[in-house]
Amino acid sequence: MFKIDKNVRRLSDSEKKQYEKDGYITGLPVFSRESKTNLDNLFTSLTSKLDKKIDINQTNYWHKASAKFYNLCRTPAILDYVEDIIGPNFYQWGGQFFVKEPNDESVVPWHQDAQYWPLSPSKTVTVWLAMYDTDEANGAMRIVKGSHKQGIFKHRVNSSKHFVLDQEVPEDKFNTSDIVSLNLKAGEVSLHDDGLLHGSLANNSDRRRCGITMRFAPVHVKADLKVWPHFETQLARGIDNLNLNPIAKIPEGEATPVKKFQYSREFVKDW
Ligand SMILES: O=C(O)CCC(=O)C(=O)O
């Protein structure tokens, strides 16, 4: 069982203001130190079923595939933090792993999520849950403070084999003194705005680095299904009386993604 950290709380007014101004909050407690082993076990049990030919960083919809993953995303402390930022009525639309194994050279280039996502308005909050202790040495996520206030940056294509995404914003296009490394203990989370520039460097350590990202948006956010036909929502809190998007079924057991984007009906319980 995952034990909740005793320091879990609601966000203060000054933290909400800081999120609005800087585009992120970090170091929020969720799971206690004793849950470290449970997080590791969860990672191992879910990812061991993945076909070896599939890159885990290219599978985006684990919350539709796995009941264990889905339930983790419904942890009340996580939803409380999200509610404090985007209000009482919101859904989850994405859930994935960002993994760097020891001495993994993969790099997430600087990017803004909103420029990849056909969602309007841009209001998604990403929760990044540290499955392991994460710092500069093992490739913690880095963000550019306040960059969500600077509009959409021009992204250029870069097909470097180490890049997890193929578009990047070069470092000479923003103020590098605003870079902050989001170092987290296993079981802590950060939250970031979908307009915030972020990325991560290689893992130069002998420790695994993995974050689970959970994407939550208020119910008035609508997806362009012509661009993302597989987009589906699972109400996470409150009510959705707008019904702007298709609804995903809740996973009843464990299935494993086989590609980047899949419909919930494609996931059939297999263990
Ligand atoms: O974990 C990382 O390094 C990047 C995560 C990311 O790009 C995201 O949450 O959108």
Is residue 249 situated within a structural domain? Answer: no
**Greatest alpha-carbon span in the chain:** 49
User: Which of 182, 213, 215 best tests ligand 1's pocket when mutated (most atoms within 8 Å of CB)?
Assistant: 213
Cα 168 off chain centre by: 18
Is residue 5 situated within a structural domain? Answer: no
For the CA of 126, the closest atom of ligand 1 is 9
Is residue 3 situated within a structural domain? Answer: no
Domain encompassing residue 176: 13-244
What separation in Å is there between the alpha carbon of 98 and the centre of ligand 1?
6
Is residue 175 situated within a structural domain? Answer: yes
Is residue 170 situated within a structural domain? Answer: yes
Residue type, 191: L
User: Which of 58, 98, 165, 212 best tests ligand 1's pocket when mutated (most atoms within 8 Å of CB)?
Assistant: 98
Burial track 224-236 (b if 16+ CB lie within 10 A, e otherwise) = eeeeeebbbbbeb
CA distance 248 to 73: 15
The neighbour count for residue 122, using CB atoms within 10 Å, is 17
Is residue 204 situated within a structural domain? Answer: yes
Here the CATH number for the domain that contains residue 237 is 2.60.120.620
Per-residue tokens: 72: 């983790």
pLDDT for the residue numbered 271: 86
CA distance 42 to 134: 17
Is residue 206 situated within a structural domain? Answer: yes
Query: What lines the ligand 1 site, CB under 6 Å?
Result: 98, 108, 113, 126, 128, 141, 198, 200, 211, 213
DSSP per residue, 188-231: EEEEEETTS-EEE----SSS-EEEEEEEEEETT-EE-TTT-TT-
pLDDT for the residue numbered 108: 96
pLDDT for the residue numbered 256: 97
Residue type, 151: G
Over residues 110-158, the pLDDT tens digits come to 999 999 999 999 999 999 999 999 999 999 999 999 999 999 999 999 8
**Which residues neighbour 120 within 8 Å (Cβ) at sequence distance 6 or greater?**
221, 222, 224
Beta strands, E only, the chain? 24-29, 90-100, 108-111, 119-120, 125-130, 141-144, 156-157, 167-168, 179-181, 188-193, 198-200, 209-218, 222-223, 234-237
**Which residues neighbour 40 within 8 Å (Cβ) at sequence distance 6 or greater?**
131, 132
What separation in Å is there between the alpha carbon of 76 and the centre of ligand 1?
23
Is residue 268 situated within a structural domain? Answer: no
Closest Cα to atom 1 of ligand 1: 98
Under-50 pLDDT residues of the chain: none
Distance of CA 149 to CAs 3, 112, 161, 188, 254, Å? 37, 12, 31, 26, 40
pLDDT for the residue numbered 1: 76
pLDDT for the residue numbered 159: 86
Cα-Cα-Cα-Cα dihedral of 184, 60, 113, 242, to 10°? -110
Task: Check if the beta carbon of residue 63 is closer than 8 Å to that of residue 261.
Answer: no
User: Domain count of the chain?
Assistant: 1
